[in-house]
């Protein structure tokens, strides 16, 4: 793992992996302005000639599939919390400030996905639904997928109340495994563990699911946090995209 303006993970970092990716920090966000719903072409550094796409997020489970090349005239109106593409030169991005960014890569079918998973989306199954979409639309084998779970509110700080716990009980088998320090109607939620559990149950192999174990609430030097700051001061951008296939 590399720390600094952005964070990368070994599962995707190899030049042979066929992807570019990053989990952003607050330092990176200051230099990257992403206009929601509009592809942004970067002409700097490693993102040269690459379109970066971020869309409006609504804490749901719908995914936008990008299966064609993009241009500056493209506009994406609507709300999605996952983006999937098989197009080289397109980086799909999500924005977070305590919610979980999840990046997915299918090295065999050459498909990538970026997922925004807050507790609502996670409990509603956005990660397994996106994996299912990759299967049905592109023929992905879940056992081949590489899944990386980015920085988010950690179980150390992420306290939830009874309505959230009720939703967990209804939707997640073995929900007790993802909460700690239960006291009355409150507990600490391990949202990363929810997503890891769902990815495995969707067919992803244990060794192919990794996580950046940094809490956005704890690390005010690295991350924005809605919970810590009590309002949206800023968001981190995390993205993944395919590099051109080698002849």
Angle at the Cα of 22 from the Cα atoms of 155 and 112, rounded to 5 degrees: 95
Query: 145-180: per-residue pLDDT in tens?
Result: 999 999 999 999 999 999 999 999 999 888 999 999
The whole-angstrom separation of Cα 40 and Cα 32 is: 10
Question: Average of pLDDT values for 191-207?
Answer: 96
What local confidence, expressed as pLDDT, does residue 15 receive?
Answer: 58
Tell me the CATH number for domain 6-152+209-242.
Answer: 3.60.140.10
What local confidence, expressed as pLDDT, does residue 71 receive?
Answer: 86
The pLDDT-based confidence of 36 (bands split at 50, 70, 90) is confident
Dihedral angle at the C-alpha atoms of 240, 139, 117, 202, nearest 10 degrees? -130
pLDDT of residue 202 exceeding 90: yes
**Residue 201 structure tokens:** 């149950």
State percent of the chain over pLDDT 90: 74
- Go through 160-186 and write b for each residue having 16 or more CB atoms within 10 A of its CB, e for each that does not: beeebbebbeeebeebeebbeeeeeee
| Beta sheet of 19-24, edge-to-edge order | 6-7, 19-24, 236-242, 90-96, 50-54, 40-42
User: Which of 25-34, 105-114, 237-246 holds the top average pLDDT?
Assistant: 105-114
Parse the chain into domains and list their residue ranges.
Answer: 6-152+209-242
pLDDT of residue 11 exceeding 80: yes
Query: 210-225: per-residue pLDDT in tens?
Result: 999 999 999 999 999 9
3-state secondary structure of 244: coil
pLDDT of residue 119 exceeding 80: yes
DSSP-derived pairing of the beta strands 146-149 and 209-211 = parallel
Residue 5: exposure state from Cβ atoms within 10 A (0-12, 13-18, ≥19): middle
pTM tops 0.85: yes
* C-beta of residue 133 within 8 angstroms of C-beta of residue 67: no
**Residue 130 structure tokens:** 């996106």
Closest CA to 52 of 68, 35, 65, 64: 35
| Beta sheet of 82-85, edge-to-edge order | 63-66, 82-85, 111-117, 100-106, 146-149, 209-211
Helix ranges, the chain (H): 10-13, 26-29, 119-124, 126-138, 162-171, 191-201, 226-229
């Amino acid at each position: 793992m590399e720390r600094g303006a952005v964070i990368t993970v070994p599962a995707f970092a190899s030049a042979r992996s066929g992807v570019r990716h990053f989990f952003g920090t607050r330092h990176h966000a200051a230099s990257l302005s992403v206009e929601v719903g509009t592809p942004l072409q970067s002409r700097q550094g490693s993102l040269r000639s690459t379109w970066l796409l971020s869309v409006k997020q609504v804490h749901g489970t719908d995914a936008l599939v990008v299966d064609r090349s993009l241009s500056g005239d493209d506009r994406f109106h609507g709300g999605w919390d996952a983006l999937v593409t098989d197009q080289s030169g397109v980086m799909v991005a999500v924005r977070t400030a305590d919610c979980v960014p999840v990046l997915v890569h299918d090295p065999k079918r050459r498909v990538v996905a970026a997922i925004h998973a807050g507790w609502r989306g996670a409990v509603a199954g956005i990660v397994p639904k996106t994996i299912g979409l990759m299967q049905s639309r592109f023929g992905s084998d879940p056992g081949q997928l590489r899944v990386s779970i980015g920085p988010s509110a950690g179980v150390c700080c992420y306290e939830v109340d009874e309505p959230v716990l009720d939703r967990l009980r209804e939707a997640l088998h073995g929900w007790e495994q993802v909460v700690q320090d239960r006291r009355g109607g409150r507990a600490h939620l391990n949202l990363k563990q929810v997503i890891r559990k769902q990815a495995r149950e969707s067919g992803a192999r244990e060794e192919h699911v990794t996580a950046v174990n940094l809490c956005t609430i704890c690390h005010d030097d690295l991350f924005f946090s809605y919970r810590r700051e009590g309002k949206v001061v800023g968001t981190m951008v995390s993205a993944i995209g395919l590099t051109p296939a080698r002849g």
